[in-house]
Structure 1
Amino acid sequence: MISKKTMNRQARFSRTAVYAATLLALTTAGAHATGIDEAIENALKFGQKDGKYGQVTFDLNYRYEYADTENTKPEPAHANTFRLRLGYLTPDFFGFQGFAEYENLYAAQNDYNGITSGDKDHHIVADPADKHELNQLWVSFKGIPDTLIKGGRQRIKIDDDRFIGNVGWRQMEMTYDAVMATNTSIADLTIKAGYIDGVQTITSLYDKTELPFVNVNYSLGNLGNAIAYGYWLKYEEDTALFGRSSQTYGIRTLGSPKVNDMLTLHYIAEYSYQADYENNPTSYAADRYNLMGGLTMFGITAKAGMEQLDGSGNISDRTGRGAFQTPLGTNHAFQGWADRFLVTPGGGIRDVNFTLASSVMTANLMFVYHKLSNDSGNVDYGDEYDFQITKEFGKHYSLLAKYAYYVADDNAPAFAQNDTQKIWLQGIIAF
């Protein structure tokens, strides 16, 4: 006799198959649906191409995610989730504009640990099941020449999202209750300055903060950009987060100068300094180095880089007290997609990496290799191999397949042991 639990699971699988097939069919059909796309775009603007009455925004993301770390107790995770974002952008009214966005995550199959929900007997997939929230609610003003001021709950992405980002890979992104001003009144100079009062996290929790920040970006023309920044992060109320309070300062140069029609160079040179701040109970100072060089030729891009975040010297400490941390960064984009090092361990981390990217039949292909160790390079953590293929169909549809394989070193510290594999399949419809 089939148990009720098994029947429920089969029902979830059936619903998932129907939803996924529908979404993927709509996605692939987008390449042949220009007329339909225009009709939808027009409807979302209330029949006015100039957006006279504002416009509705719509984003549906289906994702299957598999996660497994060998020789650990939880069962492999299987997450079939659908993320819906539905918003409304007002028309411009004497320099003012507003935006409101609702976000909902539905788990058709929740055999995973979503941290704040889900099944704790499975591995973590940081997408909390069956959650909904106010993702954005902001008002902007551009009545001051060369200046945009935005206040309210908003998406903030600065530079490469290393220090302040929206963690856009997760189904429920991170947004901020903040005020930010962007000024371009001086030629070639962009200044972003603001204050973050709170953080709506990817697990639908809320962290109270005090975070003034400034980012100054000077354009060097074809050579690239020179950037300086400062972030003063203080966590409030939740004492468990006080150890993340920090002050960070840095300088960064980067660019992709085009040598000729066949050759483009790529480079990054960045240094950051971080120390304890305000209510952090740990006194520390740590450095970060980020270097990359590469080129694009014959449609192939190759890059080699090294990012190092210094630690406290305590190799066995996985919590990373006294190590260089980036708690508001989009950390999935760094140190491998398997997410084994979202928090810098006590021994720090050195990531020597190589990236190869190209396109075949309009599909984008990427391979990334990571050699991971402590900040001195004397203690090996492991190697990671990441693969990704993406395909866009017009402006509104895309597909993605992604794979991450972390191979632990035989002598790795306890927190870095055990191989990890993750697989993702994704389809997006966005208007």
Structure 2
Amino acid sequence: MSFMSPVAMADMTQDIEDALNFYHYGKNGAVKFDLNTRFEDVNQDNVRSPALNGKALAASKQPATANAVTSRLRLGLLSPVYHGIQGYAEYQGLYAIDADYNSSLNGKSQYSTIKDPYVNELGQLWLSYAGVPDTLIKGGRQRIKLDDDRFIGNVGWRQIEQTYDSVLITHNNQQLFGLTVNAGYIGNVKSFTSTNQSINAPLLNVNYKLGDYGSIVGYGYWLGYTDPAYYANSNKTFGLRLSNYQKPGDALKLTDNLGVLYTAEWGIQSDYMNSPQHYTENRFNVMGGLTAFNITLQGAMEQKDGIGKNKTFITPLGTNHAFQGWADIFLVTPDNGIRDVFGTLTTTLDRGSVALTGVYHDFYNDTGNIHYGNEWDFMATKKFGKHYTLLTSYAYYNADHFDTDTQK
């Protein structure tokens, strides 16, 4: 039983993903069993309506506090390797024990939203071929996670995982000291709300490791949605990322007990295919941090520009919960863009089995002259052996000039 976050989810699912890559494990096949049970509460105060010029709704029309007790089951079967070919099939289903919430599909609009629909579905079904040296070719419905999941991710925080009907070629060039190239094509998105979104999306991600100094990444993503309901999500994005931080524990060691963290990233995005507007916007992401004696302190800023409706820098396929506050206020970029200035403090206890994290965010529009609000986030995780994790988190968004006060 666990209450999951993106970090904890990554830890829990990485073992089976390792089994699926380059024969590290699982040559003789494997069975996956993943049960995740959690309670989630969402309380919104002073909810406003655009139809009332931003004025608060009457008390009788404020959404009721949402309470969701859900249990998600994943069952997977990995085949043995045969002449370099391997296959994987996975079922996932969500069962609501307490369903007093708006899943966006269950019609319970009187409650605040928790996007965990009750479904039974095929989560993954793919074949891979590893007969080409240093290369894995995988086709079918699969999980794709690139870099920090900002642009292409599985939305691991939600109970139902986002997967892709796609072909992905991963090449690890051992002659060029850690060059990894991911090239692929996505034809359909099976979203975390269990909807299917038709898309024509080539993608390219090139990662070159710089030894102890991290890695430099160049990427291009062309998202061309073919369903009119999602035309506004169409975009093409190019970017560069220099970072030595991908997961907790990463750092450039200065001494045995002192390390440095850094990230510098820039991206440019513009309209593509069926976009309803013509636009070109930028994203900036910088972070600096120190780690010493199991304590990590980071200061960072992420800015996504915008100049109006459907003219903002967006990340429709990203694991957006992990960015710009766990209260999920900014899953979609505001029309005036967003600048998030934040600090993170993390420590581990009990030989690393306990992790404590606190984050403070201050949100503005992209020019800094409109203060949206601020947010406090807290998380505690405890691992029990290799297979069990207990997690609790709390997020409080204090609204100023955007959205409404929210606790999760």
TM-score w.r.t. length of structure 1: 0.82
Residues 395 and 273 of structure 1, relative CA distance in 2, 3 Å threshold: same
Structure 2 counterparts to residues 231-380 of structure 1, below 5 A: 231-236=221-226, 238-255=227-244, 256-312=251-307, 314=308, 320-361=309-350, 362-380=353-371
Secondary structure of the equivalent of 1:304?
strand
1:108 pairs with 97, 112, 115, which one?
97
1:87-126, CA deviations, whole angstroms, 9 ceiling, x for partnerless residues? 1001111111100000000001100000112522100001
Deviant stretches of 4+, over 3 Å: 50-53
d(CA) in 2 for partners of 1:191, 1:52: 24
Q: Normalized against structure 2, the TM-score is what?
A: 0.87
CA RMSD of aligned residues (A): 1.4
Secondary structure, counterpart of 1:222 in structure 2: helix
What is the deviation of 1:173? 0.8
Distance 1:52 1:332, change over 3 A: closer
* Corresponding residue for residue 121 of structure 2: 133
CA offsets, 1:360-401, max 9 Å, x none? Answer: 333100001100010011100000000000000111101000
Q: How far apart are the structure 1 equivalents of 2:232 and 2:26?
A: 46
User: Counterpart of 2:40?
Assistant: 65
Higher-Rg structure is 1
Equivalent AA in structure 2 for residue 365 of structure 1 = L
CA separation in 2, counterparts of 1:87 and 1:240?
A: 32
The question of 1:190 aligning with 2:180 is answered yes
Out of 141, 150, 165, the residue aligned to residue 153 of structure 2 is: 165
User: Partners in 2 of 1:116 and 1:176 — Cα distance?
Assistant: 21
Q: How many residues align?
A: 363
Conserved? CA contact 2:282–2:304, under 8 Å: yes
Q: Is residue 2:189 matched to residue 1:203?
A: no
Describe the SS at the equivalent of 1:241. Answer: helix
Say whether the 8 Å CA contact 1:110–1:118 is kept in structure 2: no
Contact 1:405–1:419 (8 Å) recurs in 2: yes
Kept in 2, the 8 Å contact 1:387–1:402? The answer is: yes
Cα shift readout 1:112-168 (whole Å, capped 9, x = no counterpart): 000112522100001013x11100000001000010000000000000000000000
Match for 2:41: what amino acid?
Y
Separation in structure 2 between the aligned mates of residue 117 and residue 254 of structure 1, nearest angstrom: 41
Q: 1:31 aligns to what? A: none
> 1 CA distance for matches of 2:147 and 2:84?
26
Question: Residues 138 and 153 of structure 1 are in contact (CA less than 8 Å); yes or no, is this contact kept in structure 2?
Answer: yes
Contact kept, 8 Å, 2:30 with 2:78, in 1: the verdict is: yes
Aligned residue in 1 for 2:5: none
1:86 correspondence with 2:75? yes
Unmatched tracts of structure 1, length 5 or more: 1-22, 25-40, 42-49, 315-319, 423-431
Are the structure 2 counterparts of residues 225 and 53 from structure 1 closer, same or farther at C-alpha, using a change threshold of 3 Å? Answer: closer
Letter in 2 for 1:228: G
Aligned partner letter, 2:137: I
- Cα distance change on mapping 1:104 and 1:221 into 2, 3 Å: same
Check the 8 A contact 2:329/2:403 in 1, yes or no. Answer: no
Secondary structure at the aligned position of 1:242 is classed as helix
Q: Percent identity?
A: 53
* CA–CA separation in structure 1 for the residues paired with 2:134 and 2:305: 39
Q: How far apart are the structure 2 equivalents of 1:164 and 1:51?
A: 26
Q: CA deviation at 1:53?
A: 5.0
Partners of 1:112 and 1:118 within 8 A in 2: no
